Amino acid sequence: MRKKYGLLLMVCILGLALLAAGCGGQDTPEGQESGNDAKETLSFASSGAYYPFSYYDEDTNELVGFDVEIGTALAEAMGMEPDPVTAPWQSLISGLQADKYDAIIGSMTITDERKEKVNFSDPYYVSGPKLFVRNNSDIAGAGDLTKETPVGVLMQSVYEDLAKEYTDNLKYYDSDVTALHDLDLERIDAVITDQNVGMANAKKGGWDIKAVGDLLMSENIGIAVKKGNDELVTKINQALKDIKADGTYETISNKYVGMDISGD
């Protein structure tokens, strides 16, 4: 009988100890997050080959640029941990559809064709393409191009269809920067690319090229998320408003482009 009472007492003590431990585990020291409170991650992709929007710093090999910092700022405004990743431009949408990342923050123009595959946020910047030629070129604008003029464009970009209006001699690239470099090396006679990308790379590379003529079109650039993910689109749109209101957006834009490109 005494043994039974002793065993019962031990079970009660053990139960109280476990209960106390469980209650004590609910108190997380101030400034620390429990496992259940860890921040959700926002993984966002860019090509990493689109200076000054997404590129690898030559000294640190760190992924940096306008798109990278905007993505980071948006994640933080949503209370999430930013996780920037890279993928080839032509595979960005298929990677999003395969859930390899949550969003594309990679200077993607909003088009009706792309809207059939992804959802877009509000435009996060406004830009447009220009024609770039060598400084000694006789080409003064897109009207001077012929069907034989070799023109470089980024494959599977909106510039590809645009260039087809002016020439049948397209040269395809997986990076606008490579196309611009080939222009400087006289391998092609012109490049159609974003005005900011072209001017920034010409200056950075010391290349003998220039922009000519007017903007060939105006582009609204959006953040792409997987089709049907309306909740994330809503959160991104609100975060975009927040970082514009507090000055974060303008600071990032001035840092990489030298002006506010929000279009507001």
pLDDT tens across 77-103, in order? 999 999 999 999 999 999 999 999 999
The whole-number average pLDDT for the span 110-125 is: 97
In percent, the amount of the chain with pLDDT more than 90 equals 83
pLDDT value at 118 more than 90: yes
pLDDT value at 247 more than 80: yes
Domains and CATH numbers, the chain: 38-126+221-256 (3.40.190.10), 129-212 (3.40.190.10)
What pLDDT is stored for residue 27 in this prediction? 44
Q: For residue 204, give both structure tokens.
A: 């950075």
DSSP for the chain, please give it: -HHHHHHHHHHHHHHHHHHHHHHHTT-PPTT---GGGPPPEEEEEE-S-BTTTBEE-TTT--EESHHHHHHHHHHHHTT-EEEEEE--GGGHHHHHHTTS-SEEEEEEEP-HHHHTTEEE-S-SEEE-EEEEEETT-S--SGGG--TT--EEEETTSHHHHHHTTT-S-EEEES-HHHHHHHHHTTSSSEEEEEHHHHHHHHHHHT-SEEEESS-S--EEEEEEEETT-HHHHHHHHHHHHHHHHTTHHHHHHHHHTSS--S--
The confidence band for 205, taking pLDDT boundaries of 50, 70 and 90, is: very high
What pLDDT is stored for residue 37 in this prediction? 63
What pLDDT is stored for residue 36 in this prediction? 53
What pLDDT is stored for residue 22 in this prediction? 44
What pLDDT is stored for residue 233 in this prediction? 98
pLDDT value at 188 more than 90: yes
Average pLDDT, the chain: 89
pLDDT value at 256 more than 80: yes
The confidence band for 263, taking pLDDT boundaries of 50, 70 and 90, is: confident
pLDDT value at 113 more than 70: yes
What pLDDT is stored for residue 1 in this prediction? 45
The whole-number average pLDDT for the span 145-152 is: 98
The confidence band for 4, taking pLDDT boundaries of 50, 70 and 90, is: very low
Rounded to two decimals, what is the model's pTM?
A: 0.78
The whole-number average pLDDT for the span 196-202 is: 93
The confidence band for 19, taking pLDDT boundaries of 50, 70 and 90, is: very low
Least confident of 31-40, 108-117, 194-203: 31-40
What pLDDT is stored for residue 2 in this prediction? 44
What pLDDT is stored for residue 39 in this prediction? 86
